[in-house]
Amino acid sequence: MPIAMTQIPANLLVPGQYEEIDNSLAGAQGDIKKVLIMAYKTAAAPALSGKPVQVLTKAKAAELCGHGSPAAVMAEAWLGLNSIEECWILPVAEPEAGTKWNRPFTVEAAAAGEGAVNITVNGTTLAAAVSAGAAASEIAAAIVARINSEANLPVEASADQGVVTVSSLVKGTGGNANTVFMAAAAPGVTVTPGTAAAGTGTANLAALFPGLGGTRYHYFISDFDDPANIAALAAELESRYGALRQIGGRAFIALSGEAGSASEAGSVIAQAEAVNSPHIVLVPRMENAQLPGEWAARFAAPAIRRLADDPAANTYDTQVGGLKAGAELDFNTRQKLLEAGIATWRLDPVGNLLIERLVTSYTENTDGGRDTSYLDVQVTETVDAVRTYINAEAKKRYKTWKLAATEENFGAGSKVMTPGVFRSFLADLYQTVFIQEKQWCQDFEAYKASLLVEIMAGSKTRLQYQHQPVLIGQFLTGAGLLQFK
């Protein structure tokens, strides 16, 4: 029986007892999942645009990307709910030619009494104290000081002659999702809101993707919800999922607006219509106060925690911490969202937000026909996991083996791959790992019957195989008919 040695030469003459150590068959498969948050940094922040940085704390995210930057806000939301997966940020520079969202508020005071001005920024409530007899300019200064004292707000304030202007920290259309309200709760004081000026300009993510190289990021959370950047991300994810790269990942993006329909421009369903990617999960923020990036980060955090351990995990009723929804979406709206490739959520009796169904945005095949093959994100996740596991296990077991087209007896312990050996390898993995250990798949007999392994005609180096895993499903619906007599 031939035993292949790599360190002890066959012609060794020096007496002694020698033994090689080989760890190639030891250990279990697994990797640490990386999450990449893609969002703007502030102009003065030290992080380099387009260069991913790992952050362990919200303080580090703020230091690198700027306090209150979309990147820092999303990292804080993520790290507060998931500290297991590696958190990386892709800092994006604000568009140079862009402008900032801003909204003015005019403060007036006549014999002001003691009290406060209540301020709400993206659902966060603040209060600026008002002293008895304070002038409008003094009250405006107090409002500015209160807003600017918050460490991680995505806005800043300034005042001029009793007019407070609140503006986003970074340029671009992303700031247009900010919601700021003020109301006086002091006698003799009024605060009148002016018309908001929309921010302009959008970054080009496609230009940054080549810089990610071959590093595998298992999950992406993007603050960019415009059609061009969603399309660019979908293309990058499809490339990563392809056979020649095999570094697949899934992305989470929040959509804002009314549910609407496919024919209503700007509605959530109309926005989803153009996506159609099995690698993108669309989160319906709707018209709730917290920013889209925070919705995407918080919604993704517990879902990814479940999927990272088990790509086939049922995520129904997974609680999402920190998101405040004004009202639950009704049954018909949730059905329409799911049909459009948008994930859904519901509220428990005390208002906690729960993931209902985690679908991908893929709804149509290339002919425009309805296609549910990638309906639930668990499908894409499990297919990717099965492929990754097979590839890693084959590399571990069969590195340096030879290849033969015949099934003759090469002797016990020989390192010769044949179609029969590889067929047995796949069948064994399917039954012992994918069914019994992981519960990713089912129906061993059907899988075994689907196996086709062969040596490519004219080649002595390429083994090819075809197989049809039967994925396990999600128990989401029970439908019965009760016929009583």
Q: In which band, very low, low, confident or very high, does the pLDDT at 22 lie, cut at 50, 70 and 90?
A: confident
Residue 358 has pLDDT above 70, yes or no: yes
Q: From 98, 96, 93, select the one nearest 39 (Cα to Cα).
A: 93
**Distance from C-alpha of 463 to C-alpha of 283, rounded to nearest angstrom:** 42
pLDDT beyond 50 at 1: no
pLDDT band at 337 (very low <50, low <70, confident <90, very high): very high
Residue 111 contacts residue 76 (beta carbons within 8 Å): no
Please enumerate in sequence order all residues whose Cβ is within 8 A of that of 369, keeping only pairs 6 or more positions apart, or say none.
none
335-345 average pLDDT score: 98
Region of poorest pLDDT, from 8-17, 216-225, 343-352: 8-17
The answer to whether 146 and 127 have CB atoms below 8 angstroms apart is yes
- Residue where the block lists tokens 């995520």: 315
3-class SS string, the chain: CCCCCCCCCCCCCCCCCCCCCCCCCCCCCCCCCEEEEEEECCCCCCCCCCCCEECCCHHHHHHHHCCCCHHHHHHHHHHCCCCCCEEEEEEECCCCCCECCEEEEEEEECCCCCEEEEEEECCEEEEEEECCCCCHHHHHHHHHHHHHHCCCCCEEEEEECCEEEEEECCCCHHHHHCCEEEEEECCCEEEEECCCECCECCCCHHHCHHHHCCCCCCEEEECCCCHHHHHHHHHHHHHHHCCCCCCCCEEEEEEECCCCCCCCCCCHHHHHHCCCCCCEEEEEEECCCCCHHHHHHHHHHHHHHHHHHCCCCCCCCCEECCCCCCCCCCHHHHHHHHHCCCCEEEECCCCCEEEEECECCCCECCCCCECCCCCEHHHHHHHHHHHHHHHHHHHHHHCCCEECCCCCCCCCCCCEECHHHHHHHHHHHHHHHHHHHCCCEECHHHHHHHCEEEECCCCCCCEEEECCCEECCCCCCCCCCCCCC
Whether 166 has a pLDDT exceeding 60, the answer reads yes
Write the single-letter amino acid at 186.
A
| Per-residue pLDDT tens digits for 256-302 | 999 999 999 999 999 999 999 999 999 999 999 999 999 999 999 99
Residue with tokens 């296609």: 371
Give 448's pLDDT tier (boundaries 50, 70, 90): very high
The C-alpha atoms of residue 325 and residue 125 are separated, in whole angstroms, by 15
* Least reliable range by pLDDT among 15-24, 79-88, 154-163: 15-24
- CA triple 283-51-247, angle to 5 deg: 60
Whole-number pLDDT of residue 27: 65
Tell me the percentage of the chain whose pLDDT exceeds 70. Answer: 98
Which pLDDT band, with edges at 50, 70 and 90, does 14 fall under? confident
CB 426 within 8 A of CB 451: yes
- Amino acid, res. 420: G
CB distance 151 to 121 below 8 Å: no
Average pLDDT over the chain, rounded to whole?
95
Position 471 confidence tier, pLDDT thresholds 50, 70, 90: very high
pLDDT digits 0-9 by tens, 380-427: 999 999 999 999 999 999 998 999 999 999 988 889 999 999 999 999
Confidence band of 19 (pLDDT split at 50, 70, 90):
confident
Q: Give pLDDT tens digits for 182-215.
A: 999 999 999 999 999 999 999 999 999 999 999 9
8 Å CB contact between 94 and 173: no
Count of alpha carbons within 13 angstroms of residue 67, beta-carbon side = 9
pLDDT at 342: 98
Phi, then psi, of 85 in degrees rounded to 5: -70, 150
Whether the Cβ atoms of residue 376 and residue 358 lie closer than 8 Å to each other: yes
The tens digit of pLDDT for each residue in 64-105 reads 999 999 999 999 999 999 999 999 999 999 999 999 999 999
Predicted confidence at residue 10, as pLDDT, reads 82
pLDDT given for residue 107 in this prediction:
98
Q: Given CA atoms 378, 383, 386, 388 in this order, what sign does their dihedral have?
A: negative
Does the pLDDT of residue 5 top 80, yes or no?
no
